């Protein structure tokens, strides 16, 4: 059985093992695959794994031996599901593998902004503390999270995990979700509208999927609803935010700060207006990438394939 991984580097840059897949069949792993390399590399494969390499209808139809596509991520928009279904190909994804990691990153951004950790660490390297008269030094307000309000947009696995951390910090937590109020955990209140989340909350954290309905849900109109002291956190999808509108809101003080792990184009264009703003803190789409989450992802990818080969597919998104 020929198994091909088209873009394995981000999952496994060398600190994990592909042995679980090697035990199943003849495995070839490519670190990266350009679009024009897909037909040749995927040719003859019965099992194909992809993370971000696009498998469109034309490509799928050109691979008659293909029986299974494993997406090495939760989102599976890189695969033309309709074409796969028509060809009788099972497509699986990896849900919930990075829940704890993404929630942790959301609060890493929040804590960095309210405590200015990266700013002070950099200033101390430059000798700012050493030259002070007093035992301590700060040049901007520091804030507690206790008693602040946070709005969680999307209450799936990561939204729920983020809310749990917020409750532990003593925050007032509001969720914008289709779930009913009695389905929400203790300490989490249902917010009746998305606009209300932006008006009410000191922090808005995005955890919803990207769809036509949610595309650029953060725009100039909603940013103007926010408090001037508020912050936006996005560990979901870059397309949830109109980046030009956010850049203008940050530059003119409409909101105080933003912490982002995702952008609409990755890697970003050098002229992205958010990149050089001092009150915009960006990490390079690494919320999912803790060692523990990647180990979990690798194990689930092998489990998905094993279940398929046993005739009982799990996490099949092409049903």
The full set of domain ranges for the chain reads 2-96+291-309, 99-282
Query: Do 188 and 211 touch, CB atoms closer than 8 A?
Result: no
What positions carry a catalytic annotation? Answer: 237, 266, 285
Query: Measured between alpha carbons, how far is residue 313 from residues 51, 70, 132 in Å?
Result: 19, 11, 64
Instruction: Please tell me the distance from the alpha carbon of residue 239 to that of residue 197, in angstroms, as a whole number.
Output: 19
Residue 141's pLDDT is what?
A: 87
Q: Report pLDDT for 118.
A: 87
pLDDT of residue 15: 97
Nearest to 143 by CA among 230, 62, 212: 230
Neighbouring CB atoms inside 10 A of 310's CB total 9
From residue 42, alpha-carbon distances to 68, 146, 199, 248, 298 in Å are: 12, 52, 50, 44, 20
**Topology (CATH level 3) of domain 99-282:** Rossmann fold (3.40.50)
The CATH code for residues 2-96+291-309 is 3.40.50.720
Half-sphere exposure of 17 (CA within 13 A, CB side): 4
pLDDT given for residue 16 in this prediction: 98
Burial of residue 24, with CB atoms counted within 10 A of its CB: 0-12 exposed, 13-18 middle, 19 or more buried: middle
User: How high is the pLDDT of residue 279?
Assistant: 95
Q: What are phi and psi of 102, to 5 degrees?
A: -70, -40
Beta bridge partner(s), residue 68: 47, 90
pTM to 2 decimal places? 0.93
Residues of the chain with pLDDT under 50: none
CB 197 within 8 A of CB 176: yes
């Amino acid at each position: 059985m020929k198994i091909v991984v088209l873009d394995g580097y981000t999952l496994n840059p060398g600190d994990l093992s592909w042995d679980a897949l090697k035990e199943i069949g003849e495995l070839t792993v490519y670190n990266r695959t350009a679009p024009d390399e897909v037909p040749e590399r995927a040719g003859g494969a019965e099992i194909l794994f992809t993370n971000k390499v696009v498998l469109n209808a034309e490509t799928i139809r050109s691979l008659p031996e293909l029986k299974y596509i494993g997406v090495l991520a939760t989102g599976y928009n890189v695969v033309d599901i309709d074409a796969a279904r028509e060809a009788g190909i099972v497509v699986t994804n990896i849900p919930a593998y990075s829940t704890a990691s993404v929630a942790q990153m959301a609060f890493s951004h929040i804590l960095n902004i309210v405590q200015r950790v990266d700013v002070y660490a950099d200033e101390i390297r430059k000798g700012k503390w050493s030259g002070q008269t007093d035992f301590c030094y700060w040049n901007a307000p520091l804030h507690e999270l206790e008693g602040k309000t946070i709005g969680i947009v999307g209450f799936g696995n990561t939204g729920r995990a983020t809310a749990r951390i917020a409750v532990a910090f003593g925050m007032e937590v509001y969720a914008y979700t289709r779930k009913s109020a009695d389905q929400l955990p203790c300490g989490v209140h249902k917010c009746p509208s998305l606009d209300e989340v932006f008006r009410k909350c000191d922090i808005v954290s995005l955890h919803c999927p990207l769809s036509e309905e949610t595309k650029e849900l953060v725009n100039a109109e909603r940013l103007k609803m926010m408090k001037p002291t508020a912050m936006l956190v996005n560990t979901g999808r870059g397309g949830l935010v109109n980046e030009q509108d956010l850049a203008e809101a940050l530059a003119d003080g409409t909101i105080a700060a933003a912490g982002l792990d995702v952008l609409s184009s990755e890697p970003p264009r050098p002229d992205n207006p958010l990149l050089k703003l001092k009150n915009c803190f960006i990490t390079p789409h690494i919320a999912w990438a803790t060692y523990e989450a990647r180990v979990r992802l690798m194990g689930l990818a092998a489990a998905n394939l094993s279940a398929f080969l046993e005739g009982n597919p799990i996490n099949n998104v092409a049903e």
